[in-house]
Amino acid sequence: MEKAGLVAGRGGHVFHGTRRGAISMHADLGIDEQLSMALTGHRDPGVHRRYRQLRKQQVLAAQKVLNEKLGGGQK
C-alpha cells in the first residue's frame, strides 16, 4: 500500500488513517455498523469501534439532546 501511495504521488499515506476516516464517515452518514464492518474488512465489532473518531460537535449535540430530554435545557 505504501508503494502504491508513492507511485500515485501520495507518499506518507497510512492505510489505517484511511480506514479510520472511512469508518468515521460511515457513522456520520448513518451507515449501519455491520455494513461498515463488511466494507472495511473488520470482523470484531470492538476493533471496529476503536477506529471510529467521535467529533467534538457530535458529543456536544448529544449532550444538548440529553439536556433537552431530561429537562436541563430550560432556563
pLDDT tens figures, 20-73: 889 989 988 999 999 999 999 999 999 898 888 877 888 888 899 999 999 865
Identify whether 74 is part of a domain.
Answer: no
Identify whether 23 is part of a domain.
Answer: yes
Domain containing 42 equals 2-69
Identify whether 57 is part of a domain.
Answer: yes
The C-alpha cell at 40 is 472495511
pLDDT value of residue 14: 59
pTM confidence score: 0.56
Phi and psi torsions of 27, nearest 5°? -65, -45
Identify whether 37 is part of a domain.
Answer: yes
**Count of domains observed in the chain:** 1
Identify whether 75 is part of a domain.
Answer: no
**How many other CB atoms sit within 10 Å of the CB of residue 36?**
20
